[in-house]
Amino acid sequence: MRPVEPLGLVSVLLALIPVALVISLSVALRLGQARRISIATARSVIQLLAVGLIIGWVFERDTWYWVVGLLMVMTLIAGFTAAGRMGGRLLRLSWLMSLVLGAVTAVALLYYTQIVIGLREWDGRYLIPLGGMMLGNAMTAATLAVERITSDFAREHGDIEVYLALGASPWQASQPTIRRAVGAALTPTLNAMLVVGVVKLPGMMTGQMLGGSIPFQAALYQLLILTAILFCDSLAATLSVGLLYRRFFTRAWQLNRQALR
């Protein structure tokens, strides 16, 4: 197969032209999305170019401490980003979120690289891309779960107080809310798995085929990462709400109204 066509600065500028058209359309129709699209695009360009250079530098050295260090930095950023999206009142959970995301990603990464793939040597080419995909999806799932459980507790505090008055424990009173939160967090991943290969070709599979891999092998690797993402999403969402729901109750099994504000 032919090698992947190299891209340069001109290619990037050409790729941004459709984005400029979308921004112009938003301004013309007063959709109110021009600023968000501009910021997201600018950040994407800066972050991707920077991480491309950094990962290339790490790959050249191919030592375990640089790989682990990069993954740790990515985990901290993911934890603080997830907590930041949850609002200022939950920002102090940044370290806890980083710990949850790091633990889930580490377990999945070790299992899939050592057991499933059978990697017998330290190779950042596997660990960093796979770890990044697992970590990013786990962050999104944890954020969705915590946002959902927080909003549901604020909206349905009356029903929860009825459960408590009838003798239910905080865990029992929180069960419906926890189920909905985890379900909401897993919906994007499950929906993607239902249509993968039929409606769309995911990024990892497409990238491998562009890189010259046999399509069937690319499909197998995509299946691997999908199951890893499902595992990470499920654990991240479950652990996040499992650690968080207690903050909505006092030690006397009463609803903590301060936490609802």
Three-state SS at 75: helix
For residue 201 the two structure tokens come to 């070709």
CA-to-CA distance for 27 and 186, rounded, in angstroms?
Answer: 34
CA–CA gap between residue 161 and residue 170 (Å, rounded): 10
The helix or strand, by DSSP H or E, that contains position 13, with its residue range, turns out to be helix 9-29
Residue 86 has pLDDT above 90, yes or no: no
**Dihedral, CA atoms, 233, 235, 237, 241, nearest 10 degrees?**
180
Q: Is the pLDDT score of 39 beyond 60?
A: yes
Report pTM: 0.83
Amino acid at 233: D
pLDDT bracket for residue 253 (50, 70, 90): confident
Mean per-residue pLDDT for 197-223? Answer: 79
Band (59; pLDDT cuts 50, 70, 90)? confident
Q: Hey, what are 260's tokens? A: 């609802």
Average pLDDT over residues 139-160: 88
Give me the pLDDT at residue 134, please: 94
Alpha-carbon distance 235 to 107, whole Å? Answer: 11
Residue 63 pLDDT exceeds 90: no
Q: Over pLDDT 90: what percentage of the chain?
A: 39
* 166-185 confidence digits (pLDDT tens): 888 888 988 999 999 999 99
* Amino acid at position 7, single letter: L
pLDDT score of 24: 96
The gap from C-alpha 214 to its chain's centroid, in whole angstroms, comes to 28
In the chain, % of residues over pLDDT 70: 93
- Other CB atoms within a 10 A radius of the CB of residue 185 amount to 27
Burial of 233 (0-12, 13-18, 19+ CB in 10 A): buried
pLDDT of residue 91: 58
Q: What is the predicted pLDDT for the residue at 213?
A: 75
Give the model confidence (pLDDT) of 71-85 as tens digits.
999 999 888 887 776
Q: With bands split at pLDDT 50, 70 and 90, how would you rate the model's confidence at 120?
A: confident
Q: What is the pLDDT of residue 157?
A: 81
Work out the pLDDT band at 153, boundaries 50, 70, 90: confident
Count of CA atoms in the C-beta half-sphere (13 A) of 65: 0
pLDDT at 43: 92
